[in-house]
C-alpha cells in the first residue's frame, strides 16, 4: 500500500529546515481566555459580546460574512449568563460560556431567519434550533448571527449566495471558499471566536485552507444533522471552524454525540477531544515519534500550484522533524471520486430540494394554477447553480440512466472507501493539501463550473468514505501582488478517530511557527 519515504523535492525545490520545538510560537486558545476572564470576573459576558459585536460591525462592510446579525438576542443571552454567574458563582460556567459564535445559514435557529443563502427561503424563521446550535447554547455559547454561504451549500467560492459575495480577509479581492466561506471568513476577520459550518465535499476544510483557520469535518454520524438544511444527506456533516486546534476541539466536544432526532447519528462514545493537547513546554523533543503518516501521492505535484506544493512540502518535512515516519501512499481511485461524488451529491440534492415549492415556507409567487405557482416560485427562488445541480441529479436518477450513473457512482464510492480504509490500516493518518490552489480571485471560476468542481479534488473522497479530517494552517503562497495567501494541511484519520488527528494537528500548529499569521487589517 505504501511506497517510498516522502521526498519534498518531488513537490518543490524549497529548502526546509528541521523544526525547533523550543523556538516555536504558541497558538493560544481564545475560548480558554474567555473562560479565565469570566471566572476571574475581569470581564463580563456582556463586555465580551459587545466587544465582538463591535468587531463584527467594523469588519462587515469589507468582509460581508453575515447574512443576519442577532445583536439584541446576543446581548440578552450575555446578560442572562452574567446573572447566572452572579447567582451561582463562576463554578457554574458551562464549557463554552460567553464564547461568541457565527452559525452557517444552513443551520436552523429558533426565532432567527434561516435562508441557506437562497432567495426561496427569504423570511423563513424556524421555530426550533438545529441540534448542534441547541448544544452550543446549552454549553453557554452566544450566537452573534448567521453566516453567509453558497445557496443551499452548493458552491466552492461563496459567490453563489443570493445575498452577497463574502470576501477573503487576507485579500479582499479573493473569495473565502465555499460553501462555508462566511463561517471561515468571520473567524479569520475576528468577528467571532468560532463558527459552525457544514461539509458535504470539503465545505469546511477548503474555506479553512483559503482563510488560514482550523476546520474539522467529523466522521459521518459523529454530529447530529437534525436542523441542517440538507444538500446531500449521505455526505453532509456539521463541524466547527476556529482560530486554533484547541478551540475547534472544544467546540467539537460540545456538539458531538448521539441524537434521537437524527437516525444517522452514531452511538459511538464521545472521547475527550482536548485530552493530551499540551502546551508547547510539555512537548517531548520529538512529540510525533512512532506516528506513521501517509502522503497521498495523487494530491501533490502536477495540477497543484507551486505555492501550495512548497507549503505542503515544508509541512511534510516538519512532521518528519517532529518524529513521524512519512511515506508516500498511492490511492488510484482518487480521481474517480470526483465525478462519483458529484453524481451522488446532485442526485440527493434533486430529491432534497423538491420541498422548496413556495407552498409550505419561503417565497411564494402566485400564478394561475398550482403547477405555475410551483414553476414561478422555484424559477425565481433558485439560482443558476442550484438549478444546474438539481437538473443533473434528476437526470442521473431518471429511468434508463440510474444504473449508468447513480448506481455506478455508488460502486465507485465503495471502492474509494475500501481503498482509504486499507491505507489507514497501514498509517495513523493520511495527509494532503486541502485544495490544489490558494484562494481564487473573485469571479475567476464562478462561470466555469468544471473548474470550480475540480477545486474539491483533495477533499471529496473523505466525505465519500465518511472519515474525519482536519485542516490546519500550513504556510503561505505569495500572490502576484505580494500578498500572503494561506495554505492548509489536511490530516485524515480513521473512522471516529477525531481525537488522534486533533492531537497531531495541535502538535503541528504549536511547533510550526512558519505557518502562523493573522489576516492583515483584522
Looking up cell 441542517 gives: 228
Q: Strand, helix or coil at 331?
A: coil
Catalytic residue among 12, 44, 161, 179: 179
201 and 346 in contact (C-beta within 8 Å)?
no
**Structure-block grid coordinates of residue 447:** 462561470
Whether 203 is a known active-site residue: answer yes
Query: Could you please report the per-residue DSSP string of 64-106?
Result: --EEEE-HHHHHHHHHHHHHHHHHH-GGG--TTTT-EEEEETT
132 and 238 in contact (C-beta within 8 Å)?
yes
**Structure-block grid coordinates of residue 339:** 465525478
Looking up cell 512512532 gives: 290
Helices (H) and strands (E) in the chain, counts: 15, 12
462: number of CA atoms within 13 Å, CB side?
Answer: 37
- Of 95, 93, 130, which is closest to residue 249 (Cα–Cα)? 95
DSSP element (H, E) containing 142: strand 142-147
432: number of CA atoms within 13 Å, CB side?
Answer: 29
Catalytic residue among 12, 198, 203, 265: 203
In terms of phi and psi (left: phi > 0; alpha: psi -120 to 50; beta: otherwise), the region of 228 is beta
Q: Strand, helix or coil at 454?
A: helix
E-strand ranges in 457-520 read 469-478, 484-492
Whether 354 is a known active-site residue: answer no
- Of 119, 124, 116, 188, which is closest to residue 153 (Cα–Cα)? 116
83-104 burial by CB neighbour count: b if 16+ within 10 A, else e?
ebbeeeeeeebbbbbbbbbbbb
Catalytic residue among 27, 55, 104, 137: 104
What distance in Å separates the CA atoms of residue 203 and residue 395, rounded to the nearest whole number? 24
Q: Which residues are catalytic?
A: 104, 179, 203
Amino acid at each position: 500500500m505504501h511506497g517510498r519515504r516522502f521526498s519534498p523535492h518531488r513537490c518543490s525545490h524549497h529548502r526546509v529546515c528541521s523544526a525547533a520545538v523550543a523556538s516555536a510560537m504558541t497558538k493560544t486558545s481564545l475560548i480558554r481566555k474567555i473562560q479565565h476572564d469570566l471566572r476571574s470576573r475581569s470581564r463580563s459576558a456582556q463586555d465580551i459580546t459587545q466587544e465582538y459585536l463591535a468587531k463584527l460591525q467594523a469588519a462587515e462592510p469589507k468582509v460581508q460574512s453575515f447574512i443576519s446579525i442577532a445583536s439584541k438576542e446576543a446581548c440578552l443571552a450575555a446578560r442572562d449568563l452574567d446573572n447566572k454567574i452572579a447567582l451561582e458563582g463562576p463554578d457554574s460556567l458551562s464549557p463554552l460560556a460567553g464564547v461568541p459564535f457565527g452559525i452557517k445559514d444552513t443551520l436552523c435557529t429558533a426565532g432567527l431567519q434561516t435562508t441557506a443563502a437562497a432567495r426561496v427561503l427569504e423570511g423563513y424563521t424556524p421555530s426550533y434550533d438545529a441540534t448542534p446550535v441547541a448544544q452550543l447554547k446549552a454549553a453557554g455559547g452566544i450566537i452573534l448571527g448567521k453566516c453567509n454561504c453558497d445557496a443551499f451549500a452548493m458552491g466552492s467560492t461563496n459567490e453563489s449566495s443570493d445575498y452577497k459575495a463574502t470576501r477573503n480577509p487576507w485579500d479582499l479581492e479573493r473569495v473565502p471558499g465555499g460553501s462555508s466561506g462566511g463561517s471561515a471568513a468571520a473567524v479569520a476577520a475576528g468577528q467571532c471566536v468560532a463558527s459552525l459550518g457544514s461539509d458535504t465535499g470539503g465545505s469546511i476544510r477548503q474555506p479553512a485552507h483559503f482563510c488560514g483557520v482550523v476546520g474539522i469535518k467529523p466522521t459521518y454520524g459523529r454530529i447530529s444533522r437534525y436542523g441542517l438544511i440538507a444538500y446531500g444527506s449521505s455526505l453532509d456533516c456539521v463541524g466547527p471552524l476556529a482560530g486554533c486546534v484547541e478551540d475547534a476541539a472544544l467546540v467539537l466536544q460540545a456538539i458531538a454525540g448521539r441524537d434521537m432526532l437524527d437516525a444517522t447519528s452514531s452511538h459511538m462514545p464521545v472521547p475527550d477531544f482536548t485530552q493530551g493537547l499540551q502546551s508547547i513546554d510539555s512537548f517531548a523533543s520529538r512529540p510525533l515519534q512512532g506516528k506513521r503518516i501517509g502522503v497521498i501521492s495523487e494530491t501533490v505535484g502536477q495540477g497543484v500550484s507551486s505555492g501550495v506544493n512548497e507549503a505542503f512540502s515544508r509541512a511534510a518535512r516538519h512532521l518528519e522533524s517532529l518524529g513521524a515516519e512519512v511515506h508516500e501512499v498511492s490511492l488510484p481511485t482518487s480521481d474517480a471520486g470526483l465525478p462519483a461524488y458529484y453524481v451522488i451529491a446532485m442526485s440527493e440534492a434533486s430529491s432534497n430540494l423538491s420541498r422548496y415549492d413556495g407552498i409550505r415556507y419561503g417565497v411564494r409567487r402566485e400564478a394561475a394554477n398550482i403547477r405555475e405557482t410551483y414553476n414561478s416560485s422555484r424559477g425565481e427562488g433558485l439560482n443558476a447553480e442550484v438549478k444546474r445541480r438539481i437538473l443533473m441529479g434528476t437526470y442521473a436518477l431518471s429511468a434508463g440512466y440510474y444504473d449508468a450513473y447513480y448506481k455506478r457512482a455508488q460502486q465507485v464510492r465503495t471502492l474509494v472507501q475500501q481503498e482509504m480504509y486499507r491505507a489507514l490500516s497501514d498509517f495513523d493518518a493520511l495527509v494532503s493539501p486541502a485544495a490544489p490552489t490558494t484562494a481564487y480571485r473573485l469571479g475567476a471560476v464562478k462561470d466555469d463550473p468544471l473548474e470550480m468542481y475540480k477545486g474539491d479534488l483533495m477533499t471529496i473522497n473523505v466525505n465519500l468514505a465518511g472519515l474525519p479530517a482536519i485542516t490546519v494552517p500550513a504556510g503561505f503562497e505569495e500572490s502576484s501582488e505580494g500578498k500572503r495567501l494561506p495554505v492548509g494541511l489536511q490530516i485524515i484519520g480513521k473512522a471516529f478517530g477525531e481525537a488522534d488527528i486533533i492531537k497531531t494537528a495541535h502538535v503541528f500548529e504549536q511547533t510550526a511557527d512558519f505557518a502562523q499569521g493573522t489576516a492583515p487589517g483584522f
